């Protein structure tokens, strides 16, 4: 045996350190979690800076600071962050419009997204705070082969300590991704890469992965990371093409685009939801801004996109992507739904409902359905950690 003194000393030191750290850890059952357990929410202070406050205070401030039409869900104040563009200007600054859209998009999960769904209620028991199926995505190849993915999770906006938001997702299907969990930390400094951690059931370990490229597909869908989370207004040059209203012509065009319908979809998942939403926009005589955005980044598969922004809530509901040759390469339509943004269901805003995306070059399509969601259910910080990721069986 080669039991030397130095070896014994190292082992003894490691043992002592382990015991010390363990004891310190045990004794540090801390106030951080206790604070999280309180009914805290993100709201706006006097300077419209997002900060943490008691949920009642957050609600009071919304009602106080924003003119709000509950019946129509006209404005989406709690989900809005940033300076409102001058709506009365004859030609609004397109960059302001795009920035407003971007803020809406980024802050769509203004507090923490939760969904109201049977499955999620059960899941929520297991994963405290994440009682949601975030989405059901169905991919369809040009030959009609279908693949469905379901996932749940949540987003928590921080806007402090350099962190923009943290996002966590767990796949429930298909088989090869069941249990796979993804945690992303996104930073306020957009030049900094996102940090992404995967829990891989096939390895039973957490693996850090490099940030996806903007052009990478998310989960094999026709939706890219650019569409989901990596787009920033400065990536493109924007031009306001026109201000228009949704017309029968646009609706008929949409009806043609979504043909042939995806067979076998349950009622909740049909493309008709997008048509219905466009029809509602027309009936409400909504004014829309049509923006043309040309890429500054040369590695994307499209050169420019033309997109429609709702003038009242600044969410875009239609995107058309073109390549350098002017070919239409991707079509992207979204419907929204009126949704409670506070747990007591007294305050409503809008949230994404249904995405319909088609790659015009390959014919591959994706539809994504988001179950009804509500906001502002505080999720503790501890749910956005390695420890939580490893809870998966």
| Interface with other proteins in residues 322-341 (CB under 8 A) | 329
Compare residues 123 and 292 and give the one whose CB is closer to other proteins: 123
> What is the b/e burial string over 186-220, where b = at least 16 CB atoms within 10 angstroms of the residue's CB?
bbeeeeeebbbbebeeeeeeeeeeeebebeebbbe
Compare residues 79 and 379 and give the one whose CB is closer to other proteins: 379
Which range binds other proteins by CB under 8 A, 51-59, 98-106, 228-236, 377-385?
377-385
Residue 359 sits in the site that holds other proteins (CB under 8 A): yes
Which range binds other proteins by CB under 8 A, 12-20, 89-97, 266-274, 289-297?
12-20
Name the residue with tokens 């998009």: 105
E runs forming strands in 296-372: 304-310, 316-322, 328-340, 348-359, 365-369
- CB of 177: closest distance to other proteins in angstroms? 7
- CB of 225: closest distance to other proteins in angstroms? 10
Compare residues 174 and 234 and give the one whose CB is closer to other proteins: 174
Compare residues 30 and 242 and give the one whose CB is closer to other proteins: 30
* Pairwise CA distance, residues 393 & 380, whole Å: 21
Report strand pairing: 114-115 vs 348-359: unpaired
Residues 292-311 that bind other proteins (CB under 8 A): 299, 301
- CB of 386: closest distance to other proteins in angstroms? 6
The angle at the Cα of 214, spanning 334 to 202, to the nearest 5 degrees, equals 95
- Per the structure block, which two tokens stand in for 358? 């088609």
Q: Sketch the per residue contact string, 190 through 209, with other proteins: x for CB under 8 A, - otherwise.
A: -xxx-x--x-xxxxxx-xxx
- Per the structure block, which two tokens stand in for 238? 């924007």
Compare residues 228 and 290 and give the one whose CB is closer to other proteins: 228
Closest CA to 243 of 72, 74, 94: 94
R_g (Cα) of the chain, nearest Å: 23
What residues does 351 pair with on adjacent strands?
A: 337
- CB of 249: closest distance to other proteins in angstroms? 28
Compare residues 200 and 306 and give the one whose CB is closer to other proteins: 200
Residue 54 sits in the site that holds other proteins (CB under 8 A): no
Residue from 55, 62, 182, 309 that binds other proteins (CB under 8 A)? Answer: 182
Residues 140-179 that bind other proteins (CB under 8 A): 141, 145-149, 163, 172-178
The angle at the Cα of 160, spanning 94 to 230, to the nearest 5 degrees, equals 45
Residues 74-103 that bind other proteins (CB under 8 A): none
């Amino acid at each position: 045996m080669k039991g030397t003194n130095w070896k014994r000393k190292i082992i003894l030191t490691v043992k002592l350190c382990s015991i010390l750290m363990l004891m310190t850890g045990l004794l540090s059952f801390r106030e951080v979690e206790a604070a999280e357990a309180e009914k805290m929410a993100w709201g706006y202070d006097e300077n419209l800076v997002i900060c943490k406050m008691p949920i009642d205070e957050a609600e009071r401030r919304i009602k106080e600071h924003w003119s709000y039409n509950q019946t129509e869900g006209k404005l989406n104040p709690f989900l809005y962050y940033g300076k409102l563009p001058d709506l009365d200007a004859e030609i609004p600054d397109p960059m302001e419009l795009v920035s407003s859209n971007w803020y809406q998009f980024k802050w769509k999960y203004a507090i923490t997204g939760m969904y109201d769904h049977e499955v999620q209620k059960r899941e929520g028991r297991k994963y405290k705070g994440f009682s949601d199926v975030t989405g059901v995505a169905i991919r369809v190849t040009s030959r009609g082969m279908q693949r469905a993915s379901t996932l749940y999770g949540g987003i928590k906006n921080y806007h402090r300590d350099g962190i923009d938001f943290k996002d966590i997702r767990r796949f429930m299907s298909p088989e090869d991704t069941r249990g796979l969990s993804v945690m992303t930390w996104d930073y306020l400094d957009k030049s900094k890469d996102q940090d992404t951690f995967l829990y891989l059931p096939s390895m039973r370990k957490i693996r850090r992965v490099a940030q996806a490229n903007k052009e990478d597909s998310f989960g094999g869908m026709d939706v890219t990371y650019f569409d989901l989370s990596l787009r920033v207004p400065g990536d493109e040059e924007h031009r306001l093409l026109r201000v228009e209203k949704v017309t029968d012509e646009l609706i008929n065009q949409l009806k043609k685009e979504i043909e042939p319908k995806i067979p076998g979809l349950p009622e909740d998942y049909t493309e008709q939801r997008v048509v219905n939403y466009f029809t509602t926009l027309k009936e409400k005589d909504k004014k829309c801004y049509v923006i043309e955005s040309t890429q500054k980044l040369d590695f994307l598969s499209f050169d420019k996109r033309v997109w429609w922004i709702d003038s009242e809530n600044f969410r875009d509901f239609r995107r058309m992507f073109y390549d350098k040759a002017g070919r239409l390469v991707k079509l992207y339509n979204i419907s929204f739904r009126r949704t409670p943004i506070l747990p007591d269901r007294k305050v409503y805003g809008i949230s994404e409902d249904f995405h319909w995306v088609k790659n015009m070059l390959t014919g591959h399509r994706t539809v994504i359905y988001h179950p009804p969601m509500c906001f502002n259910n505080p999720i503790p910080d501890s749910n956005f950690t390695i420890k939580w990721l490893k809870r998966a069986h």
